[in-house]
Chain A
Amino acid sequence: MQAVISVTGKDSVGIVAKTANKCAEYNVNIADVSQTILQNYFVMIMLVDIDNISVPFNDFVDIMSEMGKQNNLEIHTMHEDIFNSMHRI
């Protein structure tokens, strides 16, 4: 199973590293990353595997959101099913 982590906020050093480290900490494997800077604004969408995640998925959602708050970023983690429902017939 996969999930999508979206990260937005003012650009600063180490955003990708912090997000990736947090994923590694909970055994979440990064499958794909799309990242860009729009007028000093950092935007990243990360597709991750959560098959071997070490905590319940909804706890991971909170952990990532909290990490975002600590770094002035907005981080949302969503289960892949919402995207599959919307975009696959």
Chain B
Amino acid sequence: MLNIHDIQETINMIRDENLDIRTVTMGISLFDCVSDDENRLNEKIYDKITKSAEKLVSECEVIEKQYGIPIINKRVSLTPISLVGGAISPEGYVRIAHTLDKAAQNIGINFIGGFGALVEKGMTLGAANLIEAIPQALAETNLVCSSVNVASTKAGINMDALAKMGGIIKKAAYLTRDRDSIGCAKFVVFANVPQDNPFMAGAFHGVGENEKIINVGVSGPGVVASAIKRAGNCRLDELAEVIKKTAFKITRVGQLVAHEASSRLGVPFGIVDLSLAPTPAVGDSVAYILEGMGLEKCGAHGTTAALAMLNDAVKKGGVMASSHVGGLSGAFIPVSEDAGMISAAATGALTLEKLEAMTAVCSVGLDMIAIPGDTPEEVICGIIADEISIGVANTKTTAVRVIPAYGKKEGDSVVFGGLLGEAPVMHVNTNSPAVFINRGGRVPAPIHSLKN
């Protein structure tokens, strides 16, 4: 029998503390769409997506109503398009991006991911052509998200590929200069990319996955922040317990929704991503959790320690609540999508260097960070190389999604609206890493004994 206290707690989480399911993402394999005829390839891709995910949005809406829990995003992730398109021209890849955009609009989802390539060790002709097409594809479509994996702990870092990323990002920024360079918000560079991530911009459907799969990303920074506030002035081990219990409850809802969506859509359940994903709404911020733990401002010394503890407790609590856990699983720290991060960055408490340190102990990486539009390509590559090295050396996923906002300088701000939020343009150290970056080649895979 349910008791009124438990009921009240759940209702408060949803109504007052912004508990929601951040995304239900259907992964779809496109391998059976391969064709040597470009038009046929586009037709098959369009048909496969629109038929497979035809009911994704409507069934999610039924679940939202039944359980009274909002499902913010309904999305689709695809086999990396470079594996399907093969050696078609860059222009051909742009046309595929248009096909994906049209299919996404048709089924009513808000993002479609997988316009990407896996080049951690080397680059095929298809991958090279797709990468060349990325800026134009992002500029000419609204819903297509792109990612490139340039490194892994097993392969090392493909510096030839990484060295191209600065230019790709700058070009995407230029082509979308009339919209605060929003193209860059839909592109992410990875190390150790997960194959089952439901979150954008990095979601794609891995090669070892089912034909179709349902992956769910949970959220709930507001719920954790409130629980920490209620815990008052307790010791850190007690605080970790509070976070674990809260993460458990949040994840159980994700597991429920994942199973329900899987059964209604007739698509196997993949994973629940144990994420603390913020939104720009006040009260839905990871930075406010860290401040609630006892920091004057996010970015203060002690932030990395607090974040490490938070991230660990979220995983420990969440892992028991779900039968399969995967994706990025951990706290996200996207600057533009988190009211507390925006505030900390705007006041100078949170710097790019501190964010880099924070990414060593939490999910993802340097995310949704606006930097001056005149930041040189090589400096952007240097930012990526640093971040990717943290992932490679520590056997974890890291990523970079920076926005060199065209025409903007430090202290200005960019506004994307919606979940992508807004961000102050942050200071960047512009001492040049050009010679290092332009050496090219591969950074060898790190040794995993002699740990120090």
Contact = CB atoms under 8 A, between A and B. Distances in A.
Contact of B68 (A2, A82, A85, A86): A82
Contact of B2 (A6, A62, A77, A83): A83
10 residue pairs, one from A and one from B, having the closest CB atoms? A78-B68, A82-B67, A87-B6, A85-B256, A34-B4, A85-B252, A86-B249, A58-B65, A79-B66, A86-B252
Interface string B57-70: 00000100111110
Contact of B66 (A45, A57, A87): A57
A86 B10 contact: yes
A80 interface: yes
Given A85-B253, A86-B252, A79 B10 contact: no
Interface in B223-263: 249, 252-253, 255-256
A74 B153 CA distance: 52
B16 to A, nearest CB: 11
Nearest to A80: B2
B11 interface: yes
A85 B255 contact: yes
A39 interface: no
Q: In this complex, which of B7, B8, B9, B69 has the most chain A Cβ atoms within 10 angstroms of its Cβ?
A: B7
Given A57-B66, A82-B69, A87-B10, 12 more contacts: A6-B7, A6-B11, A32-B4, A34-B4, A45-B11, A47-B4, A61-B65, A78-B68, A79-B68, A83-B10, A86-B10, A86-B249
B2 A82 contact: no
A82 B10 contact: yes
Nearest to A65: B65
Nearest to B68: A78
Given A61-B66, A78-B67, A79-B67, A86 B6 contact: yes
Given A6-B11, A81-B256, A85-B256, A45 B4 contact: yes
Interface of A: 2, 4, 6, 32, 34, 45, 47, 57-58, 61-62, 76-87
Nearest to A6: B11
A84 B255 CA distance: 12
A82 B218 CA distance: 14
Contacts of A84: 2
B67 A81 contact: yes
Contacts, number: 65
Contacts of B15: 76
A27 B249 CA distance: 32
Contacts of B6: 83, 86-87
A12 B244 CA distance: 41
Contacts of B67: 78-79, 81-82
Nearest to A76: B68
A31 to B, nearest CB: 8
Contacts of A57: 66
B331 to A, nearest CB: 20
Contacts of B9: 86-87
B220 to A, nearest CB: 11
B241 to A, nearest CB: 16
B4 A2 contact: no
A74 to B, nearest CB: 9
Contacts of A62: 65
A72 B256 CA distance: 32
